[in-house]
């Protein structure tokens, strides 16, 4: 029934669009969701995930409780100005979705069960880094880690140099980049270009297959981006374009480089790759070489996104 995916997210508007895409694609089989802090609290993420799973008739998917704060020990900051008061724009999920979560370590039997499992991490990297600290051998069973994070040689979104997922827990992101050997990383370089225009939103809405998409993307999310980036043609779906890569890697151009993070100071969360013309692979702290997406084929993205969200050929 498609590629098995264990999903880590801070659900959140673009995380929800990613899960919606996975469900509607019919080619991605989400076998578990780890609810983490980030855009909203861990508790709110869990409520939002349960709401979405009920909407799409998939309450059988287990929801595990992930991290509620970063490894830096700081109190997390949430983003109601971007994602709305409950993280889903104008939607208030009913409070009966706050059932107890599965224990985080229920991810272990899932990792044991499936060969060729991939992990998609589209929020802070705290929960994933914890697995690398506790179960490094077991993590070798994972085929590929698809991670949304970073901004390479381009401006950040929460600070001049840092992207939100890397900035909120740079210690955790650094652990993942240091110990995961097979990361496909989707930084702002490509995710900022994954724009869904108002015309696309209205057309998708008119087809009735994804009724949640318009309320999610209009209002808070697009309003926030319009203020932040005047002239932007639509809101970017950072997390959806990342999960799309699981089945459509051809949409991206990848650059091979080790990745490190600045973990403190003015440049906290800065993502560092080696973009020099030539370099020795072991020059960079012995770090593994990761695949960093540096270019998005927008037309290909547009066609795949529209096809899945409307059910029509594009
Ligand atoms: O910087 C964008 C990322 O931060 C997205 O994953 C968004 O959902 C937030 O987690
Ligand atoms: Ca996210």
Residue whose pair of structure tokens reads 């939002």 in the numeric block: 48
| C-beta separation of 258 from 174 below 8 A | no
Q: Name the residue with the closest Cα to ligand 1, atom 10.
A: 123
CA-12 nearest atom, ligand 1: 8
Ligand 1 center–CA 278 separation, angstroms: 32
pLDDT at 280: 66
β-sheet bridge partners, residue 102: 64
CA-165 nearest atom, ligand 1: 4
CA-164 nearest atom, ligand 1: 1
Ligand 2 center–CA 278 separation, angstroms: 33
* Average pLDDT value over all residues in the chain: 95
pLDDT tens digit sequence for 118-140: 999 999 999 999 999 999 999 99
CA-15 nearest atom, ligand 1: 8
Ligand 1 center–CA 188 separation, angstroms: 9
Residues lining ligand 1, judged by CB closer than 6 Å?
10, 12, 14-15, 38-39, 122-123, 148, 157, 163-165, 238-239
pLDDT tens digit sequence for 60-87: 999 999 999 999 999 999 999 899 999 9
Report the pLDDT averaged over residues 175-185: 97
pLDDT tens digit sequence for 245-261: 999 999 999 999 999 99
pLDDT level of residue 282 (50, 70, 90 thresholds): low
Relative orientation angle of helices 13-25 and 42-55, to the nearest 10 degrees: 30
How many whole angstroms separate alpha carbon 314 and alpha carbon 310? 9
Checking if the pLDDT of 95 tops 80, the result is: no
pTM: 0.97
Best residue among 38, 67, 151 to mutate for probing ligand 1, ranked by most atoms within 8 Å of CB? 38
Q: Are strands 28-35 and 63-65 parallel, antiparallel or unpaired?
A: parallel
Ligand 2 center–CA 282 separation, angstroms: 32
Q: Are strands 290-296 and 252-257 parallel, antiparallel or unpaired?
A: antiparallel
Q: Which domain holds residue 252?
A: 3-310
Checking if the pLDDT of 278 tops 80, the result is: no
pLDDT level of residue 262 (50, 70, 90 thresholds): very high
CA-148 nearest atom, ligand 1: 6
Best residue among 238, 241, 242, 269 to mutate for probing ligand 1, ranked by most atoms within 8 Å of CB? 238
Checking if the pLDDT of 230 tops 90, the result is: no
Ligand 2 center–CA 280 separation, angstroms: 33
pLDDT tens digit sequence for 96-117: 666 788 899 999 999 999 999 9
208: domain CATH number is: 3.90.245.10
User: For the chain, how many structural domains are there in total?
Assistant: 1
Q: Are strands 118-121 and 144-148 parallel, antiparallel or unpaired?
A: parallel
CA angle 180, 241, 50 (to 5 degrees): 85
How many whole angstroms separate alpha carbon 254 and alpha carbon 182? 13
Cis peptide leading into 12, omega within 30 of 0? yes
pLDDT tens digit sequence for 143-179: 999 999 999 999 999 999 999 999 999 999 999 999 9
């Amino acid at each position: 029934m498609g590629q098995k995916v264990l999903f880590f997210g801070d659900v959140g508007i673009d995380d929800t669009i990613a899960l919606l895409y996975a469900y509607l694609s019919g080619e991605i089989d989400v076998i578990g969701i780890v609810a983490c802090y980030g855009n909203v609290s861990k508790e709110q993420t869990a409520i939002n995930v349960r709401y979405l799973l009920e909407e799409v008739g998939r309450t059988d998917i287990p929801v595990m409780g992930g991290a509620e704060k970063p490894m830096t020990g700081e109190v997390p900051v949430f983003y109601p100005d971007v994602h709305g008061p409950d993280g889903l724009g104008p939607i208030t999920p009913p409070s009966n979705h706050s059932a107890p979560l599965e224990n985080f370590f229920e991810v272990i039997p899932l990792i044991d069960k499936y060969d060729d499992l991939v992990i998609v991490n589209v929020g802070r990297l705290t929960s994933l880094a914890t697995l690398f600290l506790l179960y490094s051998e077991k993590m070798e069973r994972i085929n590929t880690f698809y991670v949304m994070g970073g901004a390479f040689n381009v401006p950040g979104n929460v600070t001049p140099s840092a992207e939100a997922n890397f900035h909120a827990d740079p210690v955790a992101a650094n652990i993942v980049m240091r110990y995961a050997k097979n990361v496909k990383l989707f930084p702002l370089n490509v995710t900022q270009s994954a724009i869904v225009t108002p015309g696309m939103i209205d057309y998708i809405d008119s087809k009735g297959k994804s009724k949640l998409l318009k309320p999610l993307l209009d209002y808070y999310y697009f309003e926030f981006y319009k203020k932040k980036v005047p002239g932007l043609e639509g809101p970017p779906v950072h997390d959806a374009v990342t999960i799309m890569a699981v089945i459509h890697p051809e949409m991206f151009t990848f650059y091979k480089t080790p990745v490190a993070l600045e973990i403190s100071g003015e440049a906290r969360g800065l993502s560092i790759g080696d973009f020099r013309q030539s370099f020795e692979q072991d020059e960079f702290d012995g770090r593994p070489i990761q695949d960093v997406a540096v270019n998005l084929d927008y037309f290909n993205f547009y066609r795949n996104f529209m096809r899945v969200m409307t059910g029509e050929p594009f």
